[in-house]
Chains A and B, each alone.
Chain A
Amino acid sequence: SAVISQKPSRDICQRGTSLTIQCQVDSQVTMMFWYRQQPGQSLTLIATANQGSEATYESGFVIDKFPISRPNLTFSTLTVSNMSPEDSSIYLCSVEDPRTGVQETQYFGPGTRLLVL
């Protein structure tokens, strides 16, 4: 399976600031996904990032708050803008996982733990 790294692994930020999270994959993948997991909650999809096109955002998430870049097939960034304490969460990127032969299978990065004060 793919090896995914995320930077930073954790951060503590002040409200009103922005943080950019990087996701690096060791192989080329078509689709990359960004999720948020708030404390004690399940995974909520923020957006899908495809190389060469604009990210597709889920209901409740907007580009101004969560701008995404996807400059090539192995890398993506998610920025959490103008942060508030409600943005404290784990942010995870994921990619297609071909092991099952099912396109919807996803393989997750280690996550970025964000605390906003």
Chain B
Amino acid sequence: GQNIDQPTEMTATEGAIVQINCTYQTSGFNGLFWYQQHAGEAPTFLSYNVLDGLEEKGRFSSFLSRSKGYSYLLLKELQMKDSASYLCAVPRGDYKLSFGAGTTVTVRA
């Protein structure tokens, strides 16, 4: 099975950088997803990593280390609209996903 850990909450100031860590244990690795979920809305896909290293997409970047079972999502130049829950997820190998508990990021002015 999968065991996925991420911090519950993080707070940061507008314009700052925040790094959301995710550690996972899985019997067969096939990539790692990050989703964003604003309060009261559905989760939306942010990124997918299957190889080690950093993938940059504008203000958001995602990093993966398969040997360490570790990923992070980096949010730069934080904006108020980035206040949301960020979910780390790993495939289970049967077209399904297992989600972490999510990290609620609050951006302060």
Interface residues of A (CB under 8 A from B): 31, 33, 41-45, 48, 92, 96-97, 99-100, 102-111
B residues contacting the other copy or chain, number (CB 8 A) = 20
Task: Give the complex CA separation of A110 and B37 in angstroms.
Answer: 11
Can you identify 17 A-B contacts, CB atoms within 8 angstroms?
Answer: A42-B101, A42-B102, A43-B43, A43-B99, A45-B97, A92-B43, A96-B95, A100-B45, A100-B48, A103-B95, A104-B95, A105-B33, A105-B45, A106-B97, A107-B45, A109-B42, A110-B41
Chain B 76-109 interface 0/1 with A at a Cβ cutoff of 8 Å (1 = within): 0000000000010001000111111110000000
Report which of A41, A100, A104, A109 forms a contact with B97, defined as CB distance below 8 A. A104
- How many A-B residue pairs have C-beta atoms within 8 angstroms? Tell me: 50
Contacts of A103 in B (CB 8 A): 95
Known: A43-B87, A105-B48. A92 touches B42 (CB 8 A): yes
Q: Which of A42, A45, A99, A100 has the most CB of B within 10 A?
A: A42
Cβ contact within 8 Å between A104 and B99: no
CB-CB nearest 6 A-B residue pairs = A108-B42, A104-B91, A43-B99, A42-B101, A42-B99, A42-B102
A117 to chain B, nearest CB (A): 20
Q: Which of B31, B87, B97, B102 has the most CB of A within 10 A?
A: B97
Interface SS majority for chain B: loop
Contacts of A96 in B (CB 8 A): 95
Known: A104-B31, A110-B42. A33 touches B48 (CB 8 A): no
Q: Which of B31, B87, B99 has the most CB of A within 10 A?
A: B99
A25 to chain B, nearest CB (A): 13
The answer to whether the Cβ of B19 comes within 8 Å of any Cβ in the partner chain is no
Task: Give the complex CA separation of A16 and B20 in angstroms.
Answer: 41
B101 to chain A, nearest CB (A): 5
Contacts of B11 in A (CB 8 A): none
